[in-house]
Structure 1
Amino acid sequence: MSAARTLVKEDGVLFIEMLNPLRYRHGAEQFSTARRLTPSIVLHSVIDVDWVHQSLNTINTIVDSSDIIGVYDEKLRFVYPSELELMAAASGFTVEILRSDWRGSPLESWSPGLAAVLRAE
């Protein structure tokens, strides 16, 4: 988060969107998601969760109605909501918004995602 602070000007904002680990902490160590990007293109992700290192290893496949367009992998680290607030404060940000999605749904332990707006101080 300290690196993000160098990219954001004074009083600027940082947007964060991620999986809500509270929902999955007692569940499977692998799951998949599918999200429609356009009417004919779908992103399918297979996600391996490493609870010890708080990381996600993801293989993403983008397909259209007739073929695979691309495959790429990601390794991401996740944080719990309370950690996000502590890391933000230590890096000179305040958490303005902490919700489960960009529509403003409340963040609950069963929410699939987390959306946050952090403001640089």
Structure 2
Amino acid sequence: MNATFPTLDPSLRQFADAANQEPISVIVEVVADAANAPYAIVRKGLPVAKHERTTIEERGTRTQTKTRSPMDQLELLLKNLNVPNPVRLDSAESFVARVNPDQLKELAGSDLVGKIRPNRQHHT
């Protein structure tokens, strides 16, 4: 694996390069500046924090934009990657998840992820 995944703990690089591996348990941390971004609901046209994605909701005749917290965005990413039953650790701003090499590489390439470490204590 090359240096394009600086968020990946060095001990996980060999696993990420392997094919057809059984999933392993990792801790996925939200990137530090995204974790500090506030949760907000803003009206259409106003600026949105750098790491927040938006969804449009129709309410009557007025369109509003709802933003998600970085933890919510990371949870959605895990769901979209079909990671089964990730455990949300709000106080640590991270998730414990069982991932395969492809999922690990996708997470390592996300701008929402600060660091991915092997899980040696928490259980999924």
Larger strand share, 1 or 2: 1
Bin of the TM-score, shorter chain as denominator length: 0.3 to 0.5
Structure 2 length as normaliser, TM-score? 0.33
Structure 1 length as normaliser, TM-score? 0.33
Larger helix share, 1 or 2: 2
Q: Which has the higher contact order (CA 8 A, sep 6+)?
A: 2
